[in-house]
Amino acid sequence: MNQIELHPYNTHEDLVDYCRKQNIVVKAYASLGGQDCGKKTWGRRGGKLTEREEVIRMAEKYGKTPSQILLRWATDKGHVCIPKTGNIQHMRENIAAVMGSEWPKNGLDNSDWALLASLDQSKTDLEKARLCWVRDPLRHLDFA
């Protein structure tokens, strides 16, 4: 298992493909877009994922919360998610996001997949690496 920060802003497609080829399960943390970014980083990226207009519209379309949309994105891609919360209502929403029967049969539709894919900034020069744990010295290492 490889646990990596994984969300529409930071998809790590090459690493995920490698893991799949090696039969390594990908475990996504920070599935909602990274929790430790400063305001400056969020501003460059277009804001928090849960507050993006596109994600909010999708949530309204499916009758879900923005967090549920992002968790569903990750699970539909085959990633294991580890959302963190101490709030019982959020726990229920998280479970419904990945196991709820009220989703369309195939989850998010193709236009929503394309829209979320357009948010990927992992190939830009903004911050190619991690959003989380911005004070972690490992963030400066190049693992490519």
Say if residue 12's pLDDT is above 70. yes
The answer, yes or no, to whether residue 88 has pLDDT greater than 90, is: no
Span 28-73, pLDDT tens digits: 888 888 755 556 666 677 778 899 999 999 999 988 999 999 998 8
Instruction: Work out whether the CA dihedral 11, 66, 113, 125 comes out positive or negative.
Output: negative
Supply the range of the domain harboring residue 114: 2-140
pLDDT band at 130 (very low <50, low <70, confident <90, very high): very low
DSSP-based three-state secondary structure for 135: coil
Mean pLDDT of 126-139: 48
Give the whole-angstrom CA distance, residue 57 versus residue 130. 26
Greater pLDDT, 17 or 119? 17
pLDDT greater than 80 at residue 134: no
Query: What is the count of structural domains for the chain?
Result: 1
| CATH number, position 36 | 3.20.20.100
